[in-house]
Chain A
Amino acid sequence: MLILSLPLYSIGFGYHVFDIRTEPEFGKGIFPTSVMYQFNFPVPDLIENCKTEFAFRLDNGLEYRTLRQDPVTGEYFAKKPWAYDYPHEYTVHFDEFNLFFAQGFIDTEFSDNDLLTAFVSIDGRFEMAFERLSWMTDPDSKEGVFWDENGDYRFPEEELLPGAPELSDDRSMFQTYISFGLNVDYMDDDVTTRDGIKGSTYVRLSPEWMILTDGTGSFVLWETEIHGAYTLFEKPMVSKKDFTWFSLVLDDKLAYRYLHGDRIPQYIMGGELWGPDVPASSSAITNRLSLSLYGPQLGKDTYPSITIFWDFGLGLGRMLNSSSSMRIAETVASYGIRAEFVIAGIAEFYYEIGCSYDPVFNEDTYVEQRFGFSIGV
């Protein structure tokens, strides 16, 4: 109704592409499999110099996921590896929409965002899970997560799967929820230099009584994130304004995620970490400490960089989606190096090598490396 009441001659939608993701099994990771983007409705700023946003955000595509818990009992596969000796990766087609309203307060001259931004949104998410893309393409890949090699279904078909509620029945879900939160932005971010602090805190409510939801989800999420950055060293170019020869930036990103509910879908669990997944527990703390060397800057958005990172994750409290009321305190960690070359802000070549310490899901530390090309924003 808000749209209809505004005196608009011709609505010119603004839009952003936020995130483009790829999967290695689809076109060697060169072609995208999912993208998040946003349409902005043209609304006037309600407070002078402070941004008012009314927008529709869509995130859709296909992604790979790893099943970590037994869908029937909720037990970790890693605790009984001999009993779950089959592939754990599967594909999910998802669509998420958010209709949100955000209002900024207090303009800062160094950032696109205002110092404080409050937002509220109405959201929905559809998902359908199926076997990985390489399933059944040759005799060695006939075993899937859901089907065994004899063509029998592994899990009960007709009942709710407590360990993975969104995989119950026909493995599709539609959940709706309400989110609200507050962002703080006091960071001067200029691609190769960053100084300041920003953070966010938000709540996502997805109770069973929400309209349109199919009841596969019932949870409350509270997440808080703080990101601090400090430029240790910078050598600006004399000939080109705002360009740097070299810069060294120290970042730290700390996030706390609390989840409560009896049916918690995969997509909302865990936290961002290189390598291991954070164990599914009611509280999850993740931290990334990193040191990045940028430069020389060939264009505003064309530059090489090298990042050394140390990631840490802690799963605390009650195990989620589990019939046992076990409380856990498990840590996972990784450290590594990422070298990348970004071209025009959208294409990047990267090489990363990291060592993961993953006692929950794996017994020994292991080293992984990735080399790739991706299109990203």
Chain B
Amino acid sequence: MKRVLLAFVCILLVIPVAADSYSLDAFISGVSNGVKGFGLGLFPLGTTFGFETYPQLFEGESKAEFQIEISFAFNNRTLDANYDYMTGCPVWAMSTAEREKASLFAGEEWEDRTLSYFNPRSDLDIYLDQGFWKNPLNENGTLLNIRLGFNLRYAMSLEEVSYSLPGHGGLVSPTFVNQDGSSRKPFGPGAVLPAYPWLNGSRNVYSDYLYLQLSLNMDRNTPTDAEPEEGMSVDLRLEYGPWWLLNNLTPEGIQSNFFRAVIYAEQKMEIFSIMQDNGWYWMNMYVGHSDNLSYVWGDVIPENKIPGDRLRGTLQDRIWLHFTGPQFMAGDCYTYIELNLYNTLMFGNVANEISGTTSAVELQTVFSARLQLRLFGFIRVEYQVGYDIVQGIWPDRPRWWQNSGISFYVSL
């Protein structure tokens, strides 16, 4: 623990040297949605906020950005019963006989337990970002940005809060312990669950990683989100969270040991726009295309870096059409409709499997339409509908889905 503090202090002590002024500006970048069971799902369960300052690091170049972003959230999560917690082998790679012998969070001994648990967590993210050269399409922007950052996470996995409420079953079926409070197999002090390293021992997790991001940005300047976007950008992001980087501090053993690389490229083009007299838009439309390739290496992948369906590689292609309706009352009151087509290829070995032998290829196609109403930059009312086609490891049928919600969000 002391080492976490020390690292954090060292980073903080560097700021005054680099910064023009010692004070940092505060910002709030998001307020998380509520969850049912907590105040009707209406009240926020977490907040993301931070502090930033713009020191001049290099003469003649644009100012750098130093930012500390902090977030916390108190949500429920569900235990994933799809992987053998001792070997990490996925259910889909097992025969029926193997499945019966496997250590899964499923079957008879789990019938009296709910798989839901309380997962309070908090993240600290610190980075320094320096831009070089002018972006030809945006006078205020830079062409190449180099960002060096550090991300630290703390999370607890505890019994679901509703258990402690009267009339909700009380202590009848806790997830991690017996009714007398003693640990229930396979959890407890000294427990090691290679497939779920964040559930080891006392289930308190400290994990962190360093990251380096190179961004090439040739996007047009869009002061508000209601404007049609145009331009292209490429990002390369490398994340490194080895075990020796404060990831083995707790008695729970190594919480993280991974390396992850992501390449992202996107292009956007305006199709049309019709202006109002006051400089707002009646409507506008742009089309976008992006590709995202990521791969994660390492034998202990932390919870926040587990890829979809646990396959180490992901290649995603997205095409979207974005239609913005009239701006009204204020510049950031408008509606938009976005049609998306995602094609995702997941491939490679299964993450957090000890033997490292199981591999698969999976293809997902998702079509979705999103309708959003934004009011004053911080209220968002959203409706989404989509159609999924999944081919690969799960015996899924194509299906329609929809969701709607209201959220409070700050985008500036």
A interface residues with partner B (beta carbon < 8 Å): 3-4, 8-13, 15-17, 20, 26-28, 30-33, 35, 37, 39, 58, 60-62, 93, 95, 126, 128, 130-131, 133, 135-142, 144, 146-147, 149, 151, 153, 157, 169-172, 174, 298-302, 343-347, 349, 373, 375, 377
Contact = CB atoms under 8 A, between A and B. Distances in A.
Contact of B120 (A17, A60, A126, A133): A133
Given A15-B27, A31-B122, A151-B179, A344 B15 contact: yes
Kindly name the residue among B13, B47, B124, B224 whose own CB sees the greatest number of chain A CB atoms within 10 A.
B47
B161 to A, nearest CB: 5
Nearest to A33: B72
B120 A95 contact: no
Given A31-B124, A93-B74, A15 B410 contact: yes
Given A11-B331, A95-B44, A136-B159, A302 B166 contact: no
B142 to A, nearest CB: 23
A16 B26 contact: yes
Given A28-B1, A60-B44, A13 B154 contact: no
Main secondary structure of the interface of B (DSSP, over half): loop
Given A137-B158, A344-B23, A344-B51, 16 more contacts: A4-B329, A9-B330, A11-B377, A12-B412, A13-B412, A31-B124, A60-B46, A62-B120, A126-B43, A128-B161, A142-B180, A147-B164, A151-B170, A157-B167, A170-B165, A344-B12
B24 A35 contact: no
A174 B40 CA distance: 10
A373 B5 contact: yes
Interface stretch (B86-94, B181-189, B347-355): B181-189
Interface in B1-60: 1, 4-5, 8-9, 12-13, 15-16, 19, 21-24, 26-28, 31, 38-39, 42-47, 49, 51
Interface of B: 1, 4-5, 8-9, 12-13, 15-16, 19, 21-24, 26-28, 31, 38-39, 42-47, 49, 51, 68, 70, 72, 74, 120, 122, 124, 154, 156, 158-159, 161, 164-167, 170-172, 174, 176-177, 179-183, 189, 202-203, 206, 223-224, 278-279, 329-332, 376-378, 410, 412
18 contacts: A8-B329, A10-B330, A10-B331, A13-B410, A30-B154, A31-B70, A31-B122, A33-B72, A60-B47, A128-B38, A133-B120, A138-B183, A138-B189, A141-B181, A298-B22, A344-B24, A346-B24, A373-B8
Closest 5 CB pairs of A and B: A142-B181, A299-B22, A10-B331, A31-B122, A27-B154
A236 B153 CA distance: 41
B402 to A, nearest CB: 28
A187 B246 CA distance: 45
B337 to A, nearest CB: 22
B52 to A, nearest CB: 11
A31 B26 contact: no
Contact of B165 (A33, A138, A171): A171
A3 B333 CA distance: 12
A212 B156 CA distance: 34
Contacts of A37: 26, 28, 47, 49
Nearest to B39: A126
A143 to B, nearest CB: 8
Nearest to A303: B22
Contacts of A13: 376-378, 410, 412
A99 to B, nearest CB: 13
Contacts of B26: 15-17, 37, 377
Contacts of B206: 27
Kindly name the residue among B165, B278, B331 whose own CB sees the greatest number of chain A CB atoms within 10 A.
B165
B72 A31 contact: yes
A32 B70 contact: yes
Contacts of A377: 26
A137 B278 CA distance: 61
A153 B158 CA distance: 20
Given A151-B171, A345-B23, A26 B122 contact: yes
B49 A300 contact: no
Contacts of A30: 4-5, 8, 154
A4 to B, nearest CB: 6
A309 to B, nearest CB: 25
Contacts of A144: 164
Contacts of B68: 346
A33 B31 CA distance: 14
Nearest to A10: B331
B170 A147 contact: yes
A39 B122 contact: no
Contacts of B31: 58, 60
A37 B49 CA distance: 9
B170 to A, nearest CB: 6
Contacts of A302: 16, 22
B16 A298 contact: yes
Contacts of B154: 26-27, 30-31
Contacts of B378: 13, 39
B49 A172 contact: no
B22 A301 contact: yes
A138 B181 contact: yes
Nearest to B167: A157
A130 B15 contact: no
Nearest to B23: A301
Contact of A130 (B22, B46, B47, B164): B164
Given A60-B43, A62-B74, A172-B39, A135 B159 contact: yes
Contacts of A12: 412
B235 to A, nearest CB: 28
A138 B181 CA distance: 6
B335 to A, nearest CB: 16
B102 to A, nearest CB: 27
A116 B72 CA distance: 36
Contacts of A31: 70, 72, 122, 124, 154
A136 B174 contact: yes
A137 B202 contact: yes
Given A13-B378, A346-B68, A58 B44 contact: yes
A130 B122 contact: no
